[in-house]
Amino acid sequence: MSAQLSLGQVLPGFTAQLSRADLVRYAGASGDFNPIHWSESAAAALGLPTVIAHGMLTMGLALRVVTEVTGDPGAVTGYYVRFTKPVPVPEEGAQVHFSGVVTEISEGIAKVSIQAMLADQAVLGAAVAEVRVD
């Protein structure tokens, strides 16, 4: 199945509330038990302000901008991301806002530029999903 996207289309964004419990669940699902994701002392030893979200968790959440519109994760043919800033998750949690816009359509593939923002800081750079279109 392919998606119906148009050039310049702004995809509905969403805000994800990340909690420490989310980090623990993701660690269990992914097998990534690096202590910087759950231990304040391990994070502090590396100069981090608090524990941080897994990069792949942030990356996966960002792709929801596309998959929620297409309804078909299989329509995604490529996905590229550069991690620019960690996502600190203090005790009270962190809110990351995700949004996207269709920047190019060529030969049946749409390129969607995705933004992930923690307050006014981009946490992903050059995030682009490639999606089969009708």
Residue-wise pLDDT tens digits, 19-44: 999 999 999 999 999 999 999 999 99
Answer whether residue 1 shows pLDDT above 90. Answer: no
pTM above the 0.85 mark? yes
Return the CATH class of domain 10-19+52-132: alpha beta
- Decide: helix, strand or coil at residue 28: helix
Domain boundaries, the chain: 10-19+52-132
pLDDT confidence of residue 4: 85
pLDDT confidence of residue 114: 98
pLDDT confidence of residue 39: 95
HSE at residue 73, side-chain half, CA atoms within 13 A, is 5
Residue-wise pLDDT tens digits, 52-72: 999 999 999 999 999 999 999
Which H or E element spans position 16? strand 10-18
Dihedral in degrees, nearest 10, Cα atoms 37, 53, 25, 98 = 180
Q: How confident is the model at residue 134 (pLDDT cuts 50, 70, 90)?
A: confident
Residue-wise pLDDT tens digits, 68-103: 999 999 999 999 999 999 999 999 999 999 999 999
Answer whether residue 3 shows pLDDT above 80. Answer: no
